[in-house]
Chain A
Amino acid sequence: MTGGKLLSLAAMSRLSWRNLWRNHRRTLIMLLAVSVGVWAMIFMTALMRGMVDQMIADGIDALPGIVQIHDPNFRDDPSIDNSMPPPGPALRAALDSPPVRAWTRRIKLPAMISSERDSRGVILLGVDPAHEIALGFDLESIVAGRFLEGPDDSGLVVGKKLLERLETDLGKRVVVMSQDPENNIADRGFRIVGVFKGKLSAQEESLVYAAIDTTQTMLGMGEQLSEIAISGDDYRNAEPVYRQVKAAAGAGLEVLPWTELDTYLGLMLGVMDGFVLVWIIVIFLALSFGLVNTLMMAVFERVREIGLMQALGMKPAAILYQVLLESLMLLALGLVLGNLLALASILPVRDGIDLSVVAEGFEMMGASSTLYPALKLTDLVMANTVVIVLGVLTSLLPAWRASQYRPVEAIAKT
């Protein structure tokens, strides 16, 4: 007697395919459930990832720099007393070498701005315009006037909302006051030369840009700085830049990557991959009940037939593969439809979904009012893998039950 063989894959596939369509309605409903589930996994993941990416990008864009250097006390007390000296030769060499892409010096201090009608507390940013632009300042955010033109520019650039609050306008003069190193009030009149529109409304109200040399002179702080901001090629991987700068900065300065400067955003990035997987699995769990039920029903409906196949010489393992193949076909079809559905719903909105109606709520979370879905290949692969692997595992129960029928009992079933 030769060993019994399994049915060829082609024959098994034909049988599985026909079995699948025995009950059109049930299969279509399950197919719809799998497709919608897969669509939800991919589409919602793309939205969530898009939102987090945007939050991080906006957060970093607010004051560009994936690594920053400060005096060790500056973050606790961002005053002029906690300024730092300009970079020495070693640090400058590190800042001028890859993987550092660009860097800039900044003054960043609390100040008071007054127009002829109103006064507001703001953050005075003394920047070197050319370096700030190289670092990532978006010139398109200037909606009126111009940006600063050099380190000794005497103009001031303010946010659109601040302009409204101060009830002043482009070209008018305002007074900026802050404390100098001797704890005396230092002030200076500036003409508003530019108005910017921030991605977050909070930026528009709280930041004012002045030229760095002008600011240092006004505050009498010499060459002292508040911070040095550094950019690299990928904000997701700030580590190489951080290591290089940290090594050159020495112990007297605090060097931190953006994930530690803004722990909320850093945490978001860190947990996003895990969150996506949990999200996909949660959707799959909801799906799996339907899948098991469908396969169980399909098996119960043809117990007699399964008994017959065994009576004709089909081994239990072949019965198991047969049911698994049916499940695999259902899942594969659902995945194809779900993926197509997801692509069809993501591609038309890849230029952004306008959420201005609920923009304030989004801005509270640090996100801008336009949401850009971020479809990542790894998310697609993860969703498809989870559905196939867990789907087949889930199908093992009905498949195993089918393979364990005793032929004589199965054939006797009506």
Chain B
Amino acid sequence: MAEIKCVDLCKTYRQGDTEIHALDHVSLDIEPGSFICLSGPSGSGKTTLLNMIGGLDALDSGEISIDGKRVDLLGKGELADLRLHRIGFVFQAYNLIPVLSARENVEFVMQVQGISATERKRKSMEILKEVGLEGMEDRRPSQLSGGQQQRVAVARAIVSQPTLVLADEPTANLDSVTAEHLMELFRELNEVHRVTFLLSTHDERVMRYAKRLIKMQDGKVVSDENIINN
């Protein structure tokens, strides 16, 4: 579980002479065990917000804290520690390490965490089976389809049981059956293990799983509603 507080976040990018306000005074409170979807058009600031919370980019101003710890004040090494032990990332473009097999990609984070080889193998085989990649453990990313690669990326993000999963368009390249299966997996992790999920998406199928839907536009939160469904 992770409790996240975002206070007055601002981030401006410069493209030539133009300033783009990727985040424009965004404030959010995220309860532990939340399942939140960020929606909005491209360029609305969803990915920037995920990157800021995950400590991948630096704020211009504002404060972010996870479980009371100020993320925006951490150094590179501490941020790496935070991501390693607390946060699972799922990127839109899979982002697997091409020279490692599916299982080695899944094991990568656990390897950095220092988990034993036996435990790593057990967990990675288990999670790959869960995401429907049994028998493909030794394939390199280039030998997997887009959907299969995304499932490896998801398996990598959740295998070490992070308290927070940040997923940027996790179903963008998946067929509907795989997307549905993935969302069920996310929901189970959220409900059983109380993992906090923060997803950016355009996908209506993903939004159906959200307990809270935050809409963004031009770097601002334009609506924030709790959803009672499922």
Contact = CB atoms under 8 A, between A and B. Distances in A.
B85 A4 contact: yes
A329 to B, nearest CB: 14
12 contacts: A4-B80, A7-B111, A15-B97, A305-B95, A308-B97, A309-B97, A312-B84, A313-B85, A313-B112, A315-B81, A406-B56, A408-B56
B114 to A, nearest CB: 4
Contact of B77 (A2, A316, A407, A411): A316
Nearest to B86: A1
A314 B112 contact: yes
B76 interface: yes
Given A15-B99, A304-B95, A312 B77 contact: no
Given A18-B100, A309-B108, 10 more contacts: A4-B113, A5-B113, A305-B97, A311-B54, A311-B56, A311-B91, A311-B95, A313-B80, A315-B76, A318-B112
A122 B95 CA distance: 86
Nearest to A403: B76
Contacts of B81: 1-4, 313, 315
A268 B123 CA distance: 67
Contacts of B130: none
A15 B101 CA distance: 11
Of B89, B97, B112, B156, which is in contact with the most chain A CB atoms at under 10 Å from its CB? Answer: B112
A4 B97 contact: no
B80 A305 contact: no
A316 B76 contact: yes
Given A2-B85, A315-B76, A316-B76, A408 B99 contact: no
A68 interface: no
Nearest to B84: A313
B111 A311 contact: no
Contact of B112 (A18, A22, A312, A406): A312
Nearest to A20: B99
Interface string B88-122: 01010001011110000000110111100000000
A330 B84 CA distance: 30
Nearest to A409: B57
Given A311-B83, A408-B51, A5 B97 contact: no
Nearest to B76: A316
B180 to A, nearest CB: 26
B82 interface: yes
Nearest to A2: B85
Contacts of B99: 15, 18-19, 22
Contacts of B56: 311, 406-408, 411
A310 B111 contact: no
A313 B83 contact: yes
A279 to B, nearest CB: 38
Interface in B148-191: 156
A314 B76 CA distance: 10
Closest 3 CB pairs of A and B: A313-B84, A18-B99, A408-B57
Contacts of A408: 51, 56-57
A340 interface: no
Contacts, number: 85
A163 B91 CA distance: 92
Contacts of B80: 4, 310, 313-316
Interface in A16-30: 18-19, 22
A4 B160 CA distance: 14
Given A15-B99, A18-B99, A312-B84, A5 B112 contact: yes
Nearest to A22: B99
A18 B58 CA distance: 32
A304 B95 CA distance: 8
A8 B76 contact: no
Contacts of B83: 311-313
Nearest to A11: B111
A126 B56 CA distance: 90
A15 B77 contact: no
Interface in A308-341: 308-318
Contacts of A18: 99-100
Contacts of A3: 81
Contacts of A407: 56-57
Nearest to B140: A18
A309 B156 CA distance: 12
Interface string B52-85: 0010111000000000000000001100111111
Contacts of A308: 91, 95, 97
A313 B95 contact: no
Contacts of A6: 112
A2 B80 CA distance: 11
Contact of A1 (B85, B97, B98, B114): B85
Contacts of B76: 315-316
Contacts of A310: 80
B89 A1 contact: no
Given A4-B81, A18-B99, A313 B109 contact: yes
B126 to A, nearest CB: 19
Contacts of A312: 83-84, 89, 108-109, 112, 156
A1 B57 contact: no
Nearest to A310: B80
A313 B98 CA distance: 18
A305 to B, nearest CB: 6
A145 B77 CA distance: 85
A4 B58 CA distance: 20
Nearest to A406: B57
Contacts of A7: 111-112
Interface in B122-147: none
